[in-house]
Amino acid sequence: MFNHLKLENLSLKNDKKTLLYNLNIEIVEKEKIAVIGPTGAGKTLFLNLLCFGLRPSEGNIFVNTENFWKKNNLFQNQIRKYFYLIPQIPDMPYRQRVISALHASYINKWSLLKVIASLFFPFKKKSIELVLKELGLFEKIDETIENLSGGQRQAISLARIFLSQPEVMILDEPLSAVDPNRSDFLLKKILEYQKKTMATIVCSLHQPDIAKKYFTRVIGINNGKIVYDGTSNKLSQTQQEKIYKGK
């Protein structure tokens, strides 16, 4: 069970420069967090660090008081199953059909034999159909990914997180390829699922208004540093300017 995540003096460097400086953050279960900041500020890297996709150059990450990167592989894999990240650009293979792309969200919980069998007998067809119906994409179930539009791909990518029901949902700009109407609909769906599964949600966004309206906590990142970390209703206009312009 996940209940507590703590980043301690975390920083991330590549060969040339530091990408993220000295992050100190605590995330508790059932929180709704929006991550905002200008393009290239380091939002995606931050989310990747949260789901253990990148090894930090310095500092520690504690999950339920255990230091994640100092534990063995078995423990790490057990913890990884609580987290699910949806990348900004949908990452499903182009030649895959929608139904098997969605089956992929279950495979970290299944045994290898069940995974192989599921290629021939789709066990979870009913729940997949249900989610697709809710998203209005039911007729696309047998299409291949390459025949879908960018927005539809993003919706299928979101359906993956609904089906896998992780304890921490991490979404990297889930609304970047959809029109405003649809983005409102998708965001409501995401929050609905969050309410149903009582999951923690960390979502990077480009619209501060939406962050203020739907999320309880906002983290503002500029140039690899955290410039704001607080409740969403205390986020003032000047602080928004500070996040986006770095003043």
Q: Which residues bind another protein (CB under 8 A)?
A: 51-55, 73, 77-81, 83-85, 87, 89, 91-96, 100, 103-104, 107-108, 110, 112, 115-116, 119, 164, 166
Q: Is 244 helix (H, G, I), strand (E, B) or coil?
A: helix
Q: How far is the CB of 61 from another protein (least distance, A)?
A: 12
The least CB distance from residue 164 to another protein, in Å, is 7
Judged by CB, which is closer to another protein: 48, or 239? 48
Question: How far is C-alpha 244 from the chain's CA centre?
Answer: 22
- Taking the complex as a whole, the smallest distance from the CB of residue 69 to another protein amounts, in Å, to 9
The smaller minimum CB distance to another protein, of residues 69 and 138, is found at 69
Could you say which DSSP state residue 63 is in? E
Distance of alpha carbon 119 from its chain centroid, rounded? 26
Tokens, residue 112: 């290898």
CB 51 → another protein: shortest distance, Å? 6
Compute the Cα dihedral for 183, 185, 190, 195 and give only its sign: positive
Q: Rounded to the nearest whole angstrom, what is the least distance from the CB of residue 240 to another protein in the complex?
A: 31
Other Cβ atoms less than 10 A from the Cβ of 89: the count is 12
Would you say 107 or 231 has its CB closer to another protein? 107
Q: Which is nearer to another protein, 26 or 91 (CB)?
A: 91
Q: How far is the CA of 69 from the CAs of 2, 28, 62, 143, 191, in angstroms?
A: 16, 19, 9, 40, 30
Tokens found for residue 184: 């409102």
**Which residue, 55 or 196, has its beta carbon nearer to another protein?**
55
Q: How many CB atoms within 10 Å of residue 62?
A: 14
